[in-house]
Chains A and B, each alone.
Chain A
């Protein structure tokens, strides 16, 4: 086996050739005869009653082919929530209908109430401007506390803005309260986990074709999970039979969670394509992306940490308001609950954890999973309050964490928040972090910063997350309305090369490189002969897609299982060819050989025999060499890490710059260390962006003030330091065949509290008693905090 492209090799990403040379095929690149364009009329007010919509003038304008309003979809279904949450009193959450187009009311700026299909983009835009909509503006519901207190409702029919009031674990509530009441020291922190706009490089786009000959639909769309999108459209929204609907997610330019979900635009183009018998494409402009992509985070939290006199953690108690926006996006109810509350024990042996989450409707864009999805919120709360506690009781923040870490001999470990961690070694991560970050040199670096008139701060963080969300049986009990397995088909072609059809979707993750490394390693063949097929429901088995750092752990495991089946069958064929029993066949370096002899046949010869089955034992073995496996994991995987950073803070202007950033992660086994490093880099960029820059702001009227790059601060290369990334401390996952965990979200989970802890340290070193500052830590906020300290 050539180790330059098997498991563990830093193989260069093969997909980058097409991405970097401009020959990728994105949804908006797909054109055929008769293309038409859809443009949406979107609300300019956050809350309003649709009194009337007059499309007469617009309909008569040049190039206009059709106009749709909410009335046209009044009889079809709504876009559902994928996870049922029950409130503490046992009542189910409120699930107001989310229609294809707004009907009766508009509920956030950007809410679509009509759509024009025209021959060209400019014609469609002109017609949208000519639609006369009489929308009576109502007071906007923006602030969550006001939303809960008031009698103005986003959805009048449910008579409250509270979607649910969830307790986790409700049976732990009294014990947690008692632990806090009796504690030697309680540290309390109120914080905001700031709302983020996903900002994928490729905006959302959907293109539908209708083929009258077979009454069939094809939807190309920017999706992270085409089968899930098809299921939602078929089973809930339009009722198109699944066997008549092909959903294709071609090259997709980033998702970060925002492209998991089904959106109304997908249903609209499907309906329009059927009506017109022509292809219909909608592609969001950047403003639409800001206004209508599902946003991330937006929690307002109070957390308390109780300790005994020795600094042992006794309890974490959290109260969170989670903004779900105007409608329930598909996983908006799972993100602040089971992806957040279950992580509130962190890396610690703390015996009592209780989390209360109230989800709140507001007249803002829907909020759902965004890179990390609940776990960044959990980690931020925990690691900020621990840092504050360390300061309050005069303990070193690293030592206090170490004292409370779960130890390596305690696995499997049942956390007080209800998860069973399978493996980890948090002290080893911290040891490695202290080493590679050159912590010993910090004092000298601080001195050098101070000589320039700058303050220097050090921040640390330990995190654990739950990836590869599963297993189906468990999540079903917890309210999930979908299963969480994945699937792969390994097809060996007659000439010996392979097509591997996977349920995971790659939109930047590098599956096309990493998955073949696994198959190549198992078969002992060259990875360049293996291609990954993904994103097309007509080609791939029913998989659940890519999110939650699940692709390799879940779909990669399905690939392993399917490849094992292929090997078993190939051994039978080889055994027949070599006239021995299949138990005597060994596979090594792409050769099937008889143990202890020099008799062998190559993988290619076996493949050819499978498809040209002359002299073939048809009574024992079917022709062909193709196998499918579905893999439903036994548990989440639990990546963990120790991060630290150093910031410089200019006390005159408040500007903070991250000077050093160290990420030491336990991802279990690593298939391609270069891709893993790249995933960590990307996550760190987004995490530092959240910590310092990204400033989603709605005003009191529900207008998004930060709706363009003139006001929304995206992290840029010169905002970020060079990173020190280490994943040498892997403890393999115990329950998946590759021993892998998940690396896609770690950087975005681990870095925000690290940065904020360092900012606090810097301000404290300058004699300013600032104990908390909310993200994004902008220069203005820092300056204001220091003025007032």
Chain B
């Protein structure tokens, strides 16, 4: 990697002040550190969020779960107050990744095959930053694209806990990211379905399935639906048609598991 300076602020305010020039946020580093090691980035300065206590921890208030942006996957996995979310966290990467990677880092990076964006979008989560709150529907804007401004930090994610939910990940065999991951969440006012891993547009909702499942939350509601392969990812591990097929299969499995 190229040489860089590192700062470890203790507060969100200090972190924002430290983010000058080409500096990048280090929030667990499970993507950024390999990128640096491959000399694919040269930020000059890293601002580590790992020393910021106010960004860590999980709080439950009624049916609302707030997770600090600096909370590692292992802590979310162990929490259990939003079971489907904890199960999702327990299957990200391996134990080393889960001990270092954070929800804020994952949400800010918005890898098109990451798991957390599916949970956030399907849950209608609120992305909390140092300056504002952003609805998930407005936050995720395509592969690695988000509503975040330059220097804006994801400080927390607020999840309304659904009545029923489940995440099904069909893994890309090498990376074990999602080849297709589907998060289904059932709320009193309707069902939301979010798909990760599949699309050139990044995480997205499958609205036709949402409507069908809102009317009838069972696998049979999906009969007759099909997913278009248009704009789905084509790579070594699967064609757009295969991913389209898997979206429906994984949605069905998530519904079954959530029911």
**In the complex, chain A residues whose CB is within 8 Å of the CB of B174:** 693, 695, 706, 709-714
Binds A, one of B79-87, B121-129, B145-153, B235-243: B235-243
**What residues on A are CB-neighbors of B242 within 8 Å?**
780, 783-784
Q: Is the CB of A713 within 8 A of B39?
A: no
Assess the B39–A709 pair: CB atoms within 8 A. no
Residues on the A chain within 8 Å of B188, using CB = none
* A695 lies within 8 A of B236 (CB): yes
124-169 of chain A: CB within 8 A of chain B: 125, 129
Contact B239 A709 (CB under 8 A): no
Cα–Cα, bound, A706→B173 (Å): 12
Q: For the complex, give the distance between the alpha carbons of A697 and B237 in Å.
A: 11
Chain B 1-53 residues near chain A, CB threshold 8 A: 1-3, 38-39
- Identify which of A653, A711, A783 contacts B236 (C-beta below 8 A): A711
A697 to B170, CA, bound (A): 22
Q: Is B97 close to A, CB under 8 A? A: no
Do B238 and A780 touch (CB < 8 A)?
yes
Residue pair B39, A783 in contact (C-beta under 8 Å): no
Q: Does A122 contact B (CB under 8 A)?
A: yes
Chain A stretch 636-688: residues in CB contact (< 8 A) with chain B: 652-653, 655
- The answer to whether A711 touches B175, judged by C-beta atoms less than 8 angstroms apart, is yes
Q: Which of B170, B173, B246 has the most CB of A within 10 A?
A: B173
Taking CB atoms and an 8 Å cut-off, the chain B residues in 207-259 that contact chain A are 236-239, 242, 245-246, 249
Contact B237 A778 (CB under 8 A): yes
> A122, B249: Cβ atoms under 8 Å?
no
Return A648 CB to nearest CB of chain B, in Å.
16
A653's contact among B1, B2, B170, B175, by CB below 8 Å, is which? B170
A706–B175 CB distance below 8 A = no
Complexed CA–CA distance, A697 and B174 (Å): 13
Check if A705 sits within 8 Å of B173, measured CB to CB.
no
Decide if A779 is an interface residue (CB 8 Å cutoff). Answer: yes
Contact, CB under 8 Å: B238 / A122? no
CA distance A616 to B1 in the complex (A): 67
- B238 contact set on A, CB distance < 8 A: 779-780
B249 contacts A778, CB within 8 Å? no
Given A653-B249, A783-B242, do A778 and B39 touch, yes or no (CB 8 Å)? no
Q: How far is the CA of A126 from the CA of B170 in the complex (A)?
A: 40
Find B173's partner among A122, A125, A287, A713 (CB 8 Å cutoff): A713
Q: Total interface residues on B, using CB and 8 Å?
A: 17
* A705 close to B246 (CB less than 8 A): no
Q: How far is B237's CA from A706's CA once the two chains are assembled, in angstroms? A: 10
- Most chain B beta carbons < 10 A, residue from A655, A693, A697, A783: A783
Partner of A125, one of B39, B170, B246: B39
| Of B2, B3, B38, B242, most A-chain CB atoms within 10 Å | B242
CB neighbours of A713 from chain B (8 A): 173-174
Residues of chain B within 8 A of A779, CB atoms compared: 170, 173, 238
Interchain CB contact under 8 A, B245 and A778: no
Q: Mark A776-788, 1 if CB is under 8 A from B, else 0.
A: 0011100110000
Q: Bound complex: CA of A260 vs CA of B78, how far in Å?
A: 48
- Give A125 to B174 CA distance when docked, in angstroms: 28
Contacts of A653 in B (CB 8 A): 170, 246, 249
Those of B154-194 within 8 Å (CB) of chain A: 170, 173-175
In angstroms, how far is the closest chain A Cβ from the Cβ of B87? 17
A780 to B246, CA, bound (A): 10
Taken together as a complex, chains A and B put the C-alpha atoms of A125 and B173 apart, in Å, by 32
| A122 contacts B3, C-beta separation under 8 Å | yes
| Across-interface contacts of A784 in B (CB, < 8 A) | 239, 242
Q: Is B170 in contact with A710, judged by CB distance below 8 angstroms?
A: no
The A-contacting residues of B in range 196-211, CB under 8 angstroms, are none
Contact B237 A652 (CB under 8 A): no
User: Inside 8 A of A778's CB, which chain B residues have their CB?
Assistant: 173, 237
- Residue of A with least CB distance to B37: A285
Taking a contact as CB atoms under 8 Å apart, the answer to whether A693 and B249 are in contact is no
Residue numbers in A under 8 Å from B173 (CB-CB): 693, 713, 778-779
User: For the complex, what is the distance from the CA of A713 to the CA of B1, rounded to whole Å?
Assistant: 25
Give the docked Cα–Cα distance between A713 and B175 (Å). Answer: 8
Residues on the A chain within 8 Å of B3, using CB: 122
By CB atoms of chain A within 10 A, which of B3, B38, B174, B245 has the most?
B174
* Minimum distance in angstroms from B168 CB to a CB of chain A: 10
User: For residue A697, which residues in chain B have a CB less than 8 angstroms away from its CB?
Assistant: 236
* Complex Cα gap A695–B174 (Å): 9
Chain A residues contacting B2 (CB-CB under 8 Å) are 122
Interface of chain A residues 283 through 340 with chain B (CB within 8 A): 287
| Separation of A777 and B239 alpha carbons in the complex (Å) | 15
Q: What A residues does B237 contact at CB under 8 A?
A: 711, 778, 780
A693 to B1: give the CA distance in the assembly, Å. Answer: 30
Minimum Cβ distance to chain A for residue B167 (Å): 16
Q: How far is the CA of A778 from the CA of B2 in the complex (A)?
A: 37
Decide if B245 touches A709 in the complex (CB within 8 Å): no
Nearest A residue to B245, CB-CB: A783
Q: Which chain A residue has the least Cβ–Cβ distance from B252?
A: A652
Tell me the bound Cα distance from A697 to B242 in angstroms.
19
CA distance A122 to B39 in the complex (A): 11
Q: Are A710 and B175 in contact (CB under 8 A)?
A: yes
B253 → chain A closest CB, angstroms: 9
A706 to B2, CA, bound (A): 25
- Given A125-B39, A653-B170, A713-B173, decide whether A706 and B236 contact each other with a Cβ distance below 8 A: yes
Inter-chain contacts of A695 with B (CB < 8 A) = 174, 236
- Which chain A residues lie closer than 8 Å to B246 at the CB level? 653
Residues on A with beta carbons closer than 8 Å to the beta carbon of B236: 695, 697, 705-706, 711
Chain A residues 689-706 with CB under 8 Å of chain B are 693, 695, 697, 705-706
CA–CA, A588 to B98, complex, Å?
A: 59
> In the complex, A639→B38 CA distance in Å?
44
Q: How far is the CA of A655 from the CA of B180 in the complex (A)?
A: 13
**Which residues of chain B come closer than 8 Å to A714, judged between CB atoms?**
174
Give CA–CA (A711, B245) in the complex, Å.
21
Give the complex CA separation of A712 and B174 in angstroms: 6
- Tell me, rounded to whole Å, the shortest Cβ–Cβ distance linking A32 to chain B: 26
| A436 CB to nearest chain B CB (Å) | 30
Closest to B242 in A: A780
Chain A neighbourhood of B239, CB < 8 A: 780, 784
Provide the residues of chain A in CB contact with B245, threshold 8 Å.
783
Distance from B162 Cβ to chain A, minimum over Cβ atoms (Å): 25
Chain A residue numbers with a CB within 8 Å of B38 are 287
Interface of chain B residues 100 through 123 with chain A (CB within 8 A)? none
Please give the distance in Å from B184's CB to the nearest CB on chain A. Answer: 17
User: Residues of B contacting A783 with CB < 8 Å?
Assistant: 242, 245
| In the complex, residue of chain B having the shortest beta-carbon distance to the beta carbon of A715 | B173
Give a binary string over A707-738; 1 marks a CB under 8 Å from any B CB, 0 the rest.
Answer: 00111111000000000000000000000000
How far, in angstroms, from A9 to B78 measured CA to CA in the complex? 46
- Nearest Cβ in chain B — how far from A600, in angstroms? 59
A693 vs B176: C-alpha distance when bound (angstroms) = 12
A327, B249: Cα distance in complex, Å? 46
- Chain A residues lying within 8 Å of B249, measured Cβ to Cβ, are 652-653
Across the interface, name the chain B residue whose C-beta is closest to A129. Answer: B39
CB distance from A783 to the nearest CB of B (A): 6
- Nearest A residue to B243 by beta-carbon distance? A780
Residues of B within 8 A of A129 (CB): 39
A93-132 Cβ-contact flags toward B at 8 Å (1 or 0):
0000000000000000000000000000010010001000
Can you name 5 A-B pairs with beta carbons within 8 Å? A653-B246, A653-B249, A655-B170, A695-B174, A779-B238
**Chain B residues at the A interface, C-beta cutoff of 8 Å:** 1-3, 38-39, 170, 173-175, 236-239, 242, 245-246, 249
Closest 10 A/B residue pairs (Cβ): A713-B174, A713-B173, A710-B175, A780-B238, A652-B249, A711-B174, A780-B242, A697-B236, A705-B236, A712-B174
Please report A residues at the B interface, Cβ cutoff 8 Å.
122, 125, 129, 287, 652-653, 655, 693, 695, 697, 705-706, 709-714, 778-780, 783-784
Given contacts A709-B175, A711-B174, A780-B242, 18 further A-B contacts (CB under 8 A): A122-B2, A125-B39, A693-B174, A695-B174, A695-B236, A697-B236, A706-B236, A710-B174, A710-B175, A711-B175, A711-B236, A712-B174, A713-B174, A714-B174, A778-B237, A779-B170, A780-B238, A784-B242
